[in-house]
Structure 1
């Protein structure tokens, strides 16, 4: 979608007390990214002039967004002197003549959902919902497709209460209107705040053109509590799963599968039930079996699970990772690790087999060390490789071996076992004394 001649202002200054959290509301995650990220991402497809208004935890919010986006404008609201949505607009200078104002707690907004604001020419375009039960919402009174006024529920008469049209909270204004009316806003209300909605009344008094835009409630759902956050997550997850299934990914019982926004699939991939795939994971021509977790890892022409755990920075190519196998910062190429193993800080080459219960002992309590295993190595069950250690090509490590740091040359068998000792009749003697 090409950029349009529109400025976008995102109001992200609020604390979000109903979240019951020390974290700024807009930094709570939806599908692996802060909710504000999703709004900026959608906005970036429409505009090259985006301003984010911040106040509460302003440094953290700005720092977090700058991890993902360049060329953002940040405006710091003087929340003590000018609180409220109108106060947030005090120091913003948009570039274009049309200005779209979004809320930082609406992570389900999409570029397509915002297209209507671009297509209508009016002094104010005001988003509306039609709700079966509008209880708690301010009613929007419309006549001949023009907004007449907004009335809060507590102030509405019977006829107004029967109106099911409510304010969705998103607006497009002309730049000229904002420049004229924002300085005139007053805070003579119970909350002593400056309200953006007061612009509607001011514009109506001046006979300006205020057009309603009916929008889909799902896309403009606000997140004000942890319950709202969970509901938004469900919607976002359904979108992500549907996107990848439409692109050819096979999913078994998809509603049981969690996929972060940053995950990428390529080629012929399948994901079984109860899987979790997070971070910038990349899955290429691979099969993730039931109950597995993949974190910030890459799989190419491989399978993992059931109940496997690929921890961050694992890179698995043409390999089989079986049930209850855990990898971490491991590079495996052409490897079989069938079951019950931990492979951490390791590099293992093709043709190598990792037996059941094998552990790379990579951490001594202070530092982490690397295990390097070459091609065609057979590591027997219940072996421990105490890093740093290097095993060259064509080596056999006998079951039960503890391999201490050093290097095993090609062609060798490594065998480390204590001699079996039998104590005759020990069982009977032991229990006879109890």
Structure 2
């Protein structure tokens, strides 16, 4: 695909008041990334000239997108003097001969869904839906394969209300159309805004060719509320999980599983019901059991859970992580941690067994400290390892031990237990019965 054929403008200047949020609408997340991220990502597959029009929370929107993309043009809309979709185009300077205008609240588009705008030849290409119930939408009158006009529902007559073709809100213009008609837009309307749709009527008067492009509503759904956000995330989740299942990942009850856009799977993987996998996570030849959470980590040749929590910056390889085990910012290779343990800021080597109830005490209330555990170490149940501490190879930590030494040397046994005191017949004295 020649990316020099089309420029893309994404209108992302609005506040989105129906979202009932202080956050700019385009920054609300879907599957782990802001809505606007998904639109830019799809756009970059077909164009090398992408402009994003911003206004509301413009600095925050630009900064967040620059965390992901380095070659996007940001154009600030003068919303005070030139409000509306037409006003948003006033300062845009596309460099390619065809200009595709997208909305920043349509996160479900992908490169394939935009292909029709590239393949169709016309002065203006206008996206449309055919709906069984078009109530509430502006109707699009089409004759002889060309758009004749758009009429809002409140202005439509009886015959026009029967039209089922409605405006989907996405347009492709020739650059000449942009250059000629955007400067001619005015705000002589009830809302005193500059409307991009006015370009359609002006171009039609000049006998330009305006062709409709029927698009799939699933890909061009707008997000205007938290309910829309949730509905769109369900669709994107289905796409993500379908992709990975087609690549060979087994998912049990996939509707109960949440997987973010940035997660990658390799090899033979099983994900059981109720799991959540997020961030820049790599899962390679892993069985993740029900109710487990994996965040921003690498897991290879291991089994996780059920009900385990792998927190960010963990690296786990050839390891068994059992139920109610939490791992945070730790490296485990060839380790068994079967149940009920917290392993934070730790480095643990192969052959080591972590007993139930083991805790790496990595935080003193001010600073975090590291625990280093060597090979073939046996740590008994209910042990506390107070960091910073190094436990060398072939060490045994007796059950119930609190390790406060800086180092336990190779081959040693560490044990700390108080002598058990027995008080005869205490039970009967306490409850007053024999």
Helix, strand or coil: the match of 2:126?
A: strand
**Corresponding residue for residue 247 of structure 1:** 247
**Corresponding residue for residue 78 of structure 1:** 78
> Deviation string for 1:104-158 (max 9, x for gaps)?
0000001000000001111100000001111111111111111011111111111
Partners of 1:292 and 1:304 within 8 A in 2: yes
Q: Give the superposition deviation at 1:422.
A: 1.6
**Compared with structure 1, are the counterparts of its residues 136 and 405 closer, same or farther at alpha carbon in structure 2 (3 Å cutoff)?**
farther
> Deviation string for 1:243-275 (max 9, x for gaps)?
111111111111111100000111111111110
**Corresponding residue for residue 46 of structure 1:** 46
Q: How many residues were matched structurally?
A: 433
Whole-Å separation in 2 of the counterparts to 1:405 and 1:364:
15
**Corresponding residue for residue 238 of structure 1:** 238
Partners of 2:328 and 2:343 within 8 A in 1: yes
- The normalised TM-score by structure 2 is 0.98
Whole-Å separation in 2 of the counterparts to 1:68 and 1:151:
39
**Corresponding residue for residue 187 of structure 1:** 187
1:306 aligned to 2:300? no
Helix, strand or coil: the match of 1:171?
A: strand
Whole-Å separation in 1 of the counterparts to 2:96 and 2:254:
43
Whole-Å separation in 1 of the counterparts to 2:312 and 2:120:
47
- 5 Å-filtered alignment, 1:16-415, equals 16-415=16-415
Give ranges in structure 2 of 5+ residues lacking alignment.
none
Partners of 1:351 and 1:376 within 8 A in 2: yes
Whole-Å separation in 2 of the counterparts to 1:89 and 1:405:
67
> Deviation string for 1:71-109 (max 9, x for gaps)?
110100011110000000000011011100000000000
Whole-Å separation in 1 of the counterparts to 2:250 and 2:324:
23
Q: Give the superposition deviation at 1:4.
A: 4.0
Q: Give the superposition deviation at 1:295.
A: 0.3
Helix, strand or coil: the match of 2:100?
A: strand
Helix, strand or coil: the match of 2:3?
A: coil
Q: Give the superposition deviation at 1:432.
A: 4.1
Whole-Å separation in 2 of the counterparts to 1:43 and 1:225:
24
Whole-Å separation in 1 of the counterparts to 2:69 and 2:227:
28
- The normalised TM-score by structure 1 is 0.98
Partners of 2:46 and 2:111 within 8 A in 1: yes
Q: Give the superposition deviation at 1:429.
A: 3.1
Give ranges in structure 1 of 5+ residues lacking alignment.
none
> Deviation string for 1:20-69 (max 9, x for gaps)?
00000000001000000000000001111000000000000000111111
Farther off after superposition, 420-429 or 174-183: 420-429
| Dislocated runs of 4+, deviation >6 Å | none
